[in-house]
Structure 1
């Protein structure tokens, strides 16, 4: 029987059923996975980036004062600006995913990490911060093969099929705000954060019988919302030794209410039909950050940082999905797959020259290293807790332009587990950062 003889409704039902089952297959079916399969849940893999300096020191730096960088995680640090500063970052990352049966997949990708622009309204007193960077990324792909019964002329023969499920997109964050130095010890800051983006997943079912049409089911969500971040910074001197510097930094990002539309489409060959659309709101949790920074002298800097996001409070107006056993792409996996997230990081920086401006070139370079441990906010089976561990390192090279540095960072780590039909990701990445700084808006002094 030719596919054209099968009612369109039957094709739709079979395609949806097989495609939706593909979203819940065990991880061992992913022989050609891309990115991380854990980005299928929630709003994707969350992105952490404050500055290229903190990126090489474990990724925190919530209390890390610097005249050469635009720290983004704590707006109170923008009060220290002297230079008008523009920073750009690009990263390359390789991820290898493997399950407990030896199946593996690999992805190599490059992307822009962040673009940041800062300038002082009043030098070392009131500063402006602007930035654009990813908030989350969804990037995965896997396949599942099987057989299913298809009604034909009163019989139900089993027909082999292959379902490829994939995801793409993510949320972006546009941030702008002010940092103000109250006195020599205390700084405060605030920013407005705009979140927007598209999250989409796709399930492509290919039949071994050429008489059956291949079906592509796509689920997506377009979201937009506004939140804000409040920060503070306390700077102390001569705490443990003469001429040392000890800082405490904290910031809180308020819950974000995102409004948007979720859609589902069905593709058959070149035709795309919209099966359903739905408008609703999604509420992302608040996020708290706390950091410590210590500089015993001009050569060394040490940081310890922590962050917490209660993702178990995530909520959504969107319906659960097509069925209880096969939820729709967004909320991906359903809210029951989300857990509270925490992250601990630490790092150090050494500048061999200290404050000696006449030292050799590599003595004036900054050498950084660190690491972090994170409990992921996804919990696919509600029982297994997933973790991510990584080490970081970097070098910061001075240039002939005062206030401008070029940084090269690297990261290597692991994420997830191969137990309970899950996968373990091993990742390695390098990133290049250009931090340009120059004095603007200076008044000329008449003699």
Structure 2
């Protein structure tokens, strides 16, 4: 039975991996900078606590933030998450709303030597680009009825397929390494639709730029834990991760297209070049305190040197160094209760603040975009070891006074966490 379940789940996982079915989240003008919004490696249980997880690991949840914490997982874990969100975007004169959703992640954890060495593979977005900005302008040397609708839009993002390994050196220290394969592409379009001619036909010159990446990235982590802090029930945890600076191989395709009405009249490839995109290093540190399986509280701080970012053209795109602070925790009234299901539910709460790398509207004189979010969630036990996970976030990014644009957003994360014992060596037939 174990072999059958193992085979079915592995086949399904591999099929989904190869299909790369990762869609778009909701539109945001901030994703026009750099390579778009960078996705957090945290899973749903991390998101419910504001994103913390660099120092705290549990046997029931896969730790995706620090590979050094994987040895906590002595059971085989398969987990998947889905994201839905709504954004209200406004400036001084207007506002609009949009919504969307996508597959958040797929991940599988396999204990090679339970309690000593655990390996994990996963697929999830690395960045997301989804924006559209439009405005009208007059056309020189024409009548007042002729005007141009200028539209700038982008879509896509980079995806990541990763392999992580964590090894426990002793009861206090563990180390981990993650290898990430970055792939997929970002498309950006700029077009001017000229309207108002007497013949009623519109003319649209369109410029398309597609940037694709295919390369590896590396990161590592260490973790420390010490039992019997303050009293014999409290454990102290500390974790540190480092994402190495990466010169990612890239290809850029540029083409033009002339639309007359809705028909393509002229299409031409301008260039097809090879180059690289420089992704900056990042350092994340966290500490937490845990009381058995009852409660955990902690804080994580992440620093990333986005001033070192370089796009395909070699420009930093106005990006600035960023930092991210997350504070949160979880509480389970009684994980072993047989009389009350609600006592076995894990409840989570957290808050996060980020000084993002984006500077709007002017990278020279503008202020960096701030992002503040309040998070909460819970895990509902299913069976003996598995769970249904939920996380919700209410946040605000940017401000009209500092950045001319602000977003109020709402995120819903849903997922499942399947734990089981695989590859057990039978003692008796």
Task: Number of aligned residue pairs: give it.
Answer: 392
| Structure 1 gap ranges (5+) | 1-33, 151-155, 321-333
One of 229, 234, 254 as aligned partner of 1:264: 254
Q: Report how far residue 278 of structure 1 moved.
A: 2.4
One of 79, 91, 105 as aligned partner of 1:114: 105
Structure 2 equivalent of residue 351 of structure 1: 332
Counterpart CA distance in 2 for 1:90 and 1:147 is 44
Structure 2 equivalent of residue 378 of structure 1: 358
Q: Which deviates further from its counterpart, 229-238 or 414-423? A: 414-423
One of 127, 142, 148 as aligned partner of 2:118: 127
Q: Report how far residue 193 of structure 1 moved.
A: 0.9
Structure 2 equivalent of residue 236 of structure 1: 226
Change (3 A) 1:420 1:124: closer
Q: Report how far residue 199 of structure 1 moved.
A: 1.1
Counterpart CA distance in 2 for 1:421 and 1:359 is 53
Q: Which deviates further from its counterpart, 364-373 or 140-149? A: 140-149
Q: Is the 8 A contact 1:148 1:161 kept in 2?
A: yes
Q: Report how far residue 92 of structure 1 moved.
A: 0.5
Q: Report how far residue 433 of structure 1 moved.
A: 1.0
RMSD of aligned alpha carbons: 1.7
Q: Report how far residue 385 of structure 1 moved.
A: 1.5
Change (3 A) 1:421 1:86: closer
Change (3 A) 1:267 1:282: same
Structure 1 equivalent of residue 278 of structure 2: 283
Cα deviation digits, residues 228-274 of structure 1 (max 9, x gap)? 11111101111122221110011111111111121222122225321
| Structure 2 gap ranges (5+) | 1-25
One of 46, 49, 52 as aligned partner of 2:41: 49
Counterpart CA distance in 1 for 2:373 and 2:135 is 31
Q: Is the 8 A contact 1:49 1:55 kept in 2?
A: no
Secondary structure of 1:252 counterpart: strand
Counterpart CA distance in 2 for 1:175 and 1:397 is 28
Structure 2 equivalent of residue 251 of structure 1: 241
One of 208, 213, 221 as aligned partner of 2:211: 221
Counterpart CA distance in 2 for 1:345 and 1:426 is 19
Structure 1 equivalent of residue 346 of structure 2: 366
Counterpart CA distance in 2 for 1:183 and 1:312 is 38
Taking structure 2 as the reference length, the TM-score comes to 0.88
Structure 2 equivalent of residue 29 of structure 1: none
Structure 2 equivalent of residue 168 of structure 1: 155
Q: Is the 8 A contact 1:100 1:421 kept in 2?
A: no
Structure 2 equivalent of residue 387 of structure 1: 370
One of 401, 407, 416 as aligned partner of 1:425: 407
Structure 1 equivalent of residue 389 of structure 2: 407
Q: Report how far residue 297 of structure 1 moved.
A: 4.9
Structure 1 equivalent of residue 22 of structure 2: none
Change (3 A) 1:421 1:435: closer
Counterpart CA distance in 2 for 1:359 and 1:419 is 54
Secondary structure of 1:79 counterpart: helix
Higher strand share goes to which structure? 2
Counterpart CA distance in 2 for 1:250 and 1:220 is 36
Name which one, 1 or 2, has greater alpha-carbon Rg.
1
Structure 1 equivalent of residue 88 of structure 2: 96
Structure 1 equivalent of residue 313 of structure 2: 319
Q: Is the 8 A contact 1:225 1:256 kept in 2?
A: no
Structure 2 equivalent of residue 71 of structure 1: 63
Q: Report how far residue 85 of structure 1 moved.
A: 0.7
Q: Report how far residue 336 of structure 1 moved.
A: 4.5
Taking structure 1 as the reference length, the TM-score comes to 0.84
Q: Report how far residue 365 of structure 1 moved.
A: 0.3
Change (3 A) 1:212 1:364: closer
